[in-house]
Amino acid sequence: MLCVCPTAIAQNPNDCEDAILVCGDTELGITPSGAGNNEFLNPNNITPTCYNFPVDQAWFRIEIETTGTFTFDLIPDQANADYDFAVFGPGASCNNLGAAIRCSSTNPQAAGVTGDTGLNDTETDTVEGPGPQGNGYLQAIDATAGDVYYILVGLAIGTGGFQLNPGGTATLPPAPIANPIDDLDVCDDFGVQDGFREFDFTPLNNDILLGQTNTTVTYHESLNDANIGINEITFPYVNTSNPQEIFVRVIRNDSDCTDFTEFTLEVDDTDVLTDADATIICSDNAIEVFDFNSIIDTLVPNSANFNITYHLTEQDAIDDVNLQGSVFTASTIEEVYYIKVIDPTGLSCEYVISAPLFVANPPAIATPADLFLCDDDFDGFLNVNLTDQNATILNGLDPASHEIRFYGSIADRAGEQNALSSNYTTTTNPQRMYVRVTETRTSCFEDVDFNITINPKPVLADQDDIIVCVDAVNPTTISVEAGFDFYDWSTGESGATLNSIDINQPGSYTVTVTNNFGCDSDLIIVALPSDIATLDDIITQDFRNGDNTAQFEVSGPGDYEFSVDNGPYQDSNFFDGLYRGFHVVRVRDKNGCGVLVEDFAVLDYQRFFTPNGDGIHDFWTLDGLPFFPDAIIFIYDRHGKLLHQMAPDGVGWDGTYLRNPLPSSTYWFTLQVPGKPLVKGHFALKR
């Protein structure tokens, strides 16, 4: 039994008012759907003890025609489904059910019985359950003609529908008879042979009724629909499956009594596609002879079981005239031929296949030139975009209607397997590529091959950075290996032999070198700047009586070393042990970009002088003072009396005050040099 939930606008027996009238000995099949209204809210309707509301339920009405016993069997579709039931009557109505006279709620699984339940002539109990109590069956009803009973059936546990089979000695209102009819086995329509076609079942009514009057016949796709009287089939009707069961409902027009029958319809489908795909002969010729017998099994499965003839027109095939042989001449112009197929068994169904036939030439493609490519990383292999060859291969053909595939071997191309991706990295050098171009409309193809050779790049040795003297008169030469075909420098200079150039400025210089394969490599040569030093400052520690020091602060892009008074060069810019007076510092660029020479002085003073006119130590002065023209020097006696202000560029103090010689004694001085601390000291005048 098929489960169909009757949700359409039609009778649904889950309400008492829509209860199904049980007539004669008709067997009913139904799947309850929904609880409907709760009839037990009516005070005249007492809720039965064997029933819990709401569940999926169905109501049945029993009208007794003649006195006797009334029984029924309720058989679930699923063996362990638990259906409970209650019987009301004998004078019951939907608004006045009263108390149940039979009430069953046995749980089949707990009681160890099947799900079958109902009334029979052997049981004596009128109530059983819940749970393991009882065996599912209750005592039969002793019914009197004219009695009306209602049966409520509810699905307590499980799924599925059930059959209700009335019995006993009492009789029910007579049911119409739905006489069985033969199954329908018909040929498919002309057209697509798919096992589906239009039907009109109304001519079957006479065989179903066999003279019965005052009845109505309807057809349904499920037994549930037939029982409830919903979803009536209308005509013309196309079957939904093949084969398919059709359920017939016959109902009396003067009552709700019904009977049912069923039949199977089957459409004789030979699995023949009447509009065949075109048969295409791929050939370089304009005309080819073709025998349809070579492909007949693809057009007509199990063709040996059918009678097959060939025709030039569809009408000839339908009329079985002007039979042709199976061999036809095909040209580049599509022609349609017709194949008549007759099934000699059963209904002798026949079909006509339209079979287009034409010759298609392979695509007129071109063989591309071999590829000679330059390596990118010196390993002899390269990632190649194979589609770059497409335009050459197609030779003007429309790329939208042609498929190009590349293969690594002849066997792969022949088997159309292991096609290469468009971005392919070569695995050998050189490597042969095998190409197949297929026209998508006809599947005709043409093959070509080409080679891929990966040529080496020039190998250039890395170079250390070089030094360029800034604004030097003489240029610096940079160079790379000779022997390549062409050199192109970032300075704009180029030539077949120009493997070196002269530069006079620092920077990055790029040379692109091309070899005899036309492959190139780049090399960057970095020229770092260097220059003669700039003396920023000389820091001296003076007045240390022969242990004076000097430190030279320089700037510039070079790497410098230092020498004082033609002494050896040193990396340190600090010198000590310097005597007072004048010195020469030399700062040399280690990269050969020049030597800076500067004079400097170390300040110190005489500790005594003898102004006696002998030309030796006749004046007191500070060695190196002329280097400090802004210096201010004052000389005092021991009592602090200012005796003399000495000029930095003079010869010194002659030991007089107001032109009078001063006596031998100790005298004091102060020295103020801008940017330096104030210096105080003393010296001796000896006569």
Rounded CA separation 149/137 (Å): 18
How buried is residue 250: exposed, middle or buried, by Cβ count under 10 Å (0-12/13-18/19+)?
buried
CA pair distance 134, 526, nearest whole angstrom: 106
In whole angstroms, give the CA distance from residue 22 to residue 3. Answer: 20
Q: Find, among 579, 545, 573, 547, the residue nearest to 561 by Cα.
A: 573
What's the CA angle centered on 313, arms 309 and 317, to 5 degrees?
35
Structure tokens at 348: 């002798």
Domain 534-602 has CATH 2.60.40: yes
Which two three-digit tokens encode residue 142? Answer: 């002793």
Q: Give yes or no on whether 16-167 and 371-455 have one common fold.
A: no
Alpha helices in 350-445 (DSSP H): 390-394, 410-415
> What are the φ and ψ backbone dihedral angles of 466, each rounded to 5 degrees?
-115, 170
The two tokens of residue 258 are: 């019904």
- Considering the domain delimited by 279-360, tell me its CATH architecture: Sandwich (2.60)
Name the CA dihedral angle for 587, 593, 594, 595, rounded to a multiple of 10 degrees: 10
For residue 507, how many C-alpha atoms fall within 13 Å in the half-sphere facing its CB? 8
Beta-carbon count within 10 A of 583 CB: 20
CA-based nearest residue to 267, from 349, 147, 151, 164: 349
Helices (H) and strands (E) in the chain, counts: 7, 52
- Could you tell me the two tokens for 493? 């200079």
207-264, pLDDT tens digit by residue? 999 999 999 999 999 988 998 889 999 999 999 999 999 999 999 998 888 888 999 9
Yes or no: say if 57 and 16 are a contact pair by the CB < 8 Å rule.
Answer: no
- Identify the CA nearest to 107 among candidates 78, 81, 125: 81
Q: Which residue has the tokens 């193809």?
A: 445
The answer as to CATH 2.40.160 being correct for domain 371-455 is no
**H or E stretch at 110:** helix 108-111
Residue appearing with tokens 């006489």: 179
Say if residues 432 and 449 touch (Cβ distance below 8 Å): yes
pTM flag (> 0.85): no
Residues belonging to the chain? 687
The CATH number of domain 16-167, selected from 2.60.120.380, 2.60.40.10, 2.40.170.20, 3.40.50.970: 2.60.120.380
pLDDT of residue 3: 28
Residue 651: count other Cβ atoms within 10 Å of its Cβ.
10
Q: DSSP assignment, residue 388?
A: G
Q: List, in order, residues 6 or more apart from 161 with CB less than 8 Å away.
A: 1, 3, 29, 30, 31, 32, 76, 77, 224
Let me know: does 604 contact 542? Beta carbons within 8 Å. Answer: yes
Determine how many CB atoms are found less than 10 A away from the CB of residue 458: 21
Peptide bond into 236 cis (omega under 30): yes
Angle (nearest 5°) at CA 296 between 272 and 281: 115
Question: Could you give the angle at the alpha carbon of 495 between the alpha carbons of 492 and 501, nearest 5°?
Answer: 60
Domain residue spans of the chain: 16-167, 184-268, 279-360, 371-455, 466-530, 534-602, 605-685
Neighbour count for residue 50 (Cβ, 10 Å):
23
Give pLDDT < 70 ranges for the chain.
1-11, 53, 190-193, 269-272
DSSP letter for each residue of 177-227: -----PPEEEEPPSS--SS--EE--GGGHHHHHTT--SEEEEEESSHHHHH
| Tokens standing for residue 6 | 């009757």
Amino acid 116 reads: D
590: DSSP letter: T
Residues 6+ apart with CB under 8 A from 206: none
Nearest CA to 83 out of 7, 140, 31 is that of: 31
- CA 380, CA 398: separation in Å to the nearest integer? 35
**Distance between CA atoms of residues 394 and 403, nearest Å:** 10
Fold that domain 184-268 belongs to in CATH: Immunoglobulin-like (2.60.40)
Which alpha helices (DSSP H) does 407-491 contain, by range? 410-415
Listed in order, strand segments (DSSP E) in 28-93 are 28-30, 57-63, 68-76, 82-88
For residue 167, with 0-12 CB atoms within 10 Å meaning exposed, 13-18 middle and 19 or more buried, which class applies?
Answer: middle
SS3 sequence, 283-347? CCCCEEEEEHHHCHHHHCCCHHHCEEEEECCHHHHHHCCCCECCEEEEECCCEEEEEEEECCCCC
Tens-digit pLDDT profile for residues 98-115 = 999 999 999 999 999 999
Spell out the CATH class of 605-685.
mainly beta
